[in-house]
Amino acid sequence: MIAVDTNILVYAHRADSPFHTKAKQVLESLRASPAAWAIPWPCIHEFLAIASHPRIYKHPTPMEKAFAAIDTWNAAGNLHCLAESATHLGRLRELCVKARLAGPRVHDARIAALCLNNGVQELWTADRDFSAFPQLHTRNPLVTS
């Protein structure tokens, strides 16, 4: 299963993003596929916060439209939202300690732990900070390999 990070969601949603066209194509390919794909719940929360943020965008996305975007992603029926389970704390601890994380980097560890605990084979992200977690395979689908 492929999981998608916040930045890809924001780029796909915001037409003013320089990566909009490619990111939108990437999400559409996941939606159109019969295979399951995923978004970690923290990425959904972060998407809502970023897309609607008036200090980030001159014309932020109204909350109703941000939720409508999520509804569209979910409409195909193959999207899974990844949540914490009973094993989450142990995995989070392992990732944070091994990578010697502190502060905001714990958020990335939370996403990595969710992916690893839910059988994600690859996280699609434009964020290089996930390299701190070599056990999680990542790929930036916006660049040609």
CA distances from 8 to 17, 25, 30, 102 (A): 10, 11, 12, 24
pLDDT tens per residue across span 111-139 = 999 999 999 999 999 999 999 999 999 99
Share of the chain above pLDDT 90, in %: 98
With CA atoms as reference, report the closest residue to 7 among 114, 130, 133, 100: 130
Query: Is the per-residue pLDDT at 145 higher than 80?
Result: no
Q: What share of the chain is helix, strand, coil (3-state, %, to 5)?
A: 50, 10, 40
pLDDT tens per residue across span 48-107 = 999 999 999 999 999 999 999 999 999 999 999 999 999 999 999 999 999 999 999 999
Whether residue 50 contacts residue 6, with contact meaning beta carbons closer than 8 Å, is answered with: yes
Residue identified by tokens 């994600």 is 120
| Whether the model pTM is above 0.85 | yes
- 118, 113, 22, 34 alpha-carbon torsion, rounded to 10°: 0
Query: Is the per-residue pLDDT at 29 higher than 90?
Result: yes
